[in-house]
Chains A and B, each alone.
Chain A
Amino acid sequence: MSRTAELAAAALEAAAAPREIAVRARGLVKSFERGSIVALDRADLTIHAGEAIAIAGPSGCGKSTLLNLIAALDRPDAGEIEVFGTSLRSLTRKQADLFRSGTIGFVFQLHNLLPHLTAHENVQIPMVRAGISAEQRVSRASMLLDRVEMSHRVNNLPPTLSGGERQRVAVARALANHPRLILADEPTGSLDTRSGSQVLDLMRQIQREDGVTLVIVTHDLQVAQSASRVVHMRDGRITDA
C-alpha cells in the first residue's frame, strides 16, 4: 500500500472510531423558586472530547444554568448528566469539589480574579487546592502567564490591568490544573470588540493545541461563530443539538 493510501486509511479509521464523549446530558430539568421559574426543560446535549462548542441563546434561556450543571456547581432536579463518563448526580459535595478542581477550567464573564492577589497568585489559586508543590505552582503559573502573553504583568494586581489583560489572566487560571474541559460563561461580555476577539482567539488556540474541550456560553452570535459547533437554546431547551 502506498504512503498516501496508508494515511487515507488511517484518517478513515480515525473518523470511523467512536469519539470520546465529554458531556452527555439527557432530559435535564432545573427550576428555581419552587418550580415557578423553569431554567432547563428536558434539555439534551452531547459534546465530544476536543470539541469547541458554543451554546447560544437570549438571556434567561438557561445557558448559564446548563453550564453550572456541567461544572457540578449545581444539581439537576431531573435528568442525567455525565462528564467524561462521571455521573455528576451521584457525586458527593466533596467529590464534586475534587471533580471541578481536576477536570474543569472556568472563565467567567467578569474575569472574577481576586483583587488583592497578583496575576501570578490568581493563577496559583486552583493549584493551592490541588496539592501541587510550591515550586511547581510557581513555575506552572509563570508558564501559563507567558502562554497568554502576560509574563510582563505577573506582579500586577487585577485593578491595574485592562479588561482584556484580566481575562487573559482568567484564561491562564482556568488552565492551572490541566483541565479537560474549559467552560467559558460570556467570556467576552465585559470586553470591547478587539479585546474580546483576542481572548476568543486565545481560547481557541489553547483548545486546539491542548486538545481540550471548550464550551462557550454566549448570547452574541458573532462570538458563537468562533466555535466549531453552535447549539441554540430557547426556553430551557436545546433547539438544534
Chain B
Amino acid sequence: MNRAPRALTFSGVTVRNLMRQPMRTMLTALGVSVGVIAVVALAAISRGFWDMTSMALRLGGCDLLVFQTGVAADILSSLEEKATRAALASVDAVEAVAGAIFTVQPVNDQPFMVVIGAREDDFSYRQLKPTQGRKPQRPDELMVGRVAAQTLCVKVGDKIRMGRHEFTISGMFELGLVVVDGGVMIDLDVLQEMTNRQDQITAAPVKLKPGADRRAAVEEIERRFPEFKAISEVEEYVKVDRGLVIMQALVWGVSGIAVLVGGLVVLNTMWMSVFERTREIGILRALGWSRRRVVGMILMESALISLLAAAMGSVLGVAVAQLATVMHITEQFVQPVYGPALFGWATLLAVAIGALGGVIPSWRASTFSPVEALRYE
C-alpha cells in the first residue's frame, strides 16, 4: 500500500539534494570538521589554562602574585627572598607576604612535573589541608597532589626520587587545579638547595589588608619597586608569561586556517555538485524558480554541510581535548573547559566555512542560462 505523499518544502529539496550523495556529504562534513575539532580542542584547553591561572592567583587566600620584571615566563622569575619580603611588607596595603618557587623537575620516570616550594609558616601554605597523611615535617618529606599520585602510581608512605634526592610522601593534597594537583609540594629551603637557588624565590604571594584595593596596591608596588611585576587578575598575567596570549593567538590562527581549508573543501564539493546538476538547475529555472531561490538552495546545502561539520567537530573536539587529560605526558597540565561560548564559536566558524565555500558555486549556478543549462548533458 502506498504511504500518503507529503508536502515538498524548499528545505526538503535541499536535504534531499545532500542525501543523494550521502558519502560525499559525510566526507565533506568530516573534512570541514577537522578544523572545527582543532579549534574546539585548542580553545577548550586554552580556556582551561585561563581558568586555572585565574584560580591559582587566589590560592591560599592570596590577593596578588609578585614576580621579577622583564621575564618571558613565570617560572623564570627570580627574586631575592629576604629583600622581596621586606620590600613588600613596607607597602601599607600589604598584610602578609609569602615566598614560593614554582619549577618543573623530573620526578621518578616523569620528565616534567610541577614542583612547588613553600614555607611552613607562610599564610598561603598554612591554609593547605592534606586530604591524606600530613604535611612534611622533615627535609626528606614532601606532599603529592592527587593527579601526581595517579601519574606516578604512588601513595602516602611511598618514596619518590627527584634528581639525586629521595623523598618520602608524607601526605596528599587536592586543590581542584590540575596543574597544582599534578605536582608535588616541598619545603622551600630544600628546593632552594636542590636547585642551587639559595635565598631565591620565583614569586611572592601577597595577602592584602581587609578592604584594600588590589588595583591600587599593584600600582604602588610597581611604582615603588620597578624590579617587581604584580598581578591581581588573570588578564595581567601577560606581564610575566606570554603563554596564555600565545595559546589564544594559536586558537585564532588555527581558526583562520580552519576557515580557509574548510572553505576550500566545501567549495570543491559544491562546485562539483553544481556542475553535476547543471541540467537540473536549468529545469528549476524553466519551472519558474528564481535565481535567488537557486542561490538560496546551494547556500543552504553548504550551510547544512557546515552545521553537520560543526556538530561532528564539536563532539570530536571534546573527545580530543579529553584525550589530553588522560595522556600520561599531559594529564597533569590539561584541564579543558567547555561552555556555550565555545560551541557557539565552533558553529560560527562552521557557518563562515559554509558561506565561504558556498557563495562562489551558488553564484555560478545563478549565472546559468536556463536554455544552456537545459541543453547540458
Q: Hey, which bits of chain A sit against chain B, CB under 8 A?
A: 68, 71, 73-74, 93-94, 97-98, 100-102, 104, 106, 108, 112, 114, 116-118, 120-121, 124-126, 128-130, 134-135, 137-138, 141-142, 152, 154-155, 173, 177
Contact = CB atoms under 8 A, between A and B. Distances in A.
B175 interface: no
Interface residues of B, number: 30
A71 B369 CA distance: 13
The 3 closest A-B pairs by CB, nearest first: A101-B288, A134-B7, A120-B5
A73 B13 CA distance: 23
Interface string B8-32: 1110110011011000000000000
20 contacts: A73-B285, A74-B371, A94-B290, A97-B288, A102-B288, A112-B283, A112-B374, A114-B280, A114-B283, A116-B20, A118-B5, A121-B12, A121-B16, A124-B7, A125-B287, A128-B13, A134-B7, A138-B5, A141-B5, A154-B2
Nearest to A173: B287
Contacts of B13: 117, 125, 128
Interface SS majority for chain A: helix
A190 B13 CA distance: 27
Contacts of B279: 112
Nearest to A100: B288
Given A112-B279, A114-B280, A129 B289 contact: yes
Given A97-B288, A116-B16, A125-B287, 14 more contacts: A73-B285, A73-B374, A94-B290, A101-B287, A101-B288, A108-B374, A112-B279, A116-B19, A125-B8, A125-B13, A138-B6, A141-B5, A142-B5, A155-B5
B113 to A, nearest CB: 59
Contacts of B5: 118, 120-121, 138, 141-142, 154-155
B9 A155 contact: no
B291 interface: yes
B284 interface: yes
A54 B180 CA distance: 88
Contacts of A71: 286
Nearest to B369: A74
B205 interface: no
A116 B280 CA distance: 11
A71 B370 CA distance: 11
Interface in B135-168: none
A219 to B, nearest CB: 16
Interface of B: 2-3, 5-10, 12-13, 16-17, 19-20, 279-280, 283-291, 293, 369-371, 374
B3 A121 contact: no
Contacts of B283: 108, 112, 114
Contacts of A125: 8, 13, 284, 287
B7 A98 contact: no
A156 to B, nearest CB: 9
Contacts of B20: 116
Contact of B288 (A124, A137, A154, A177): A177
B290 A129 contact: yes
A126 B10 CA distance: 11
Given A73-B371, A128-B13, A152-B2, A100 B286 contact: yes
A137 B286 contact: no
A138 B5 CA distance: 7
B1 to A, nearest CB: 10
Contacts of B289: 97, 101, 129
Contacts of A100: 286-288
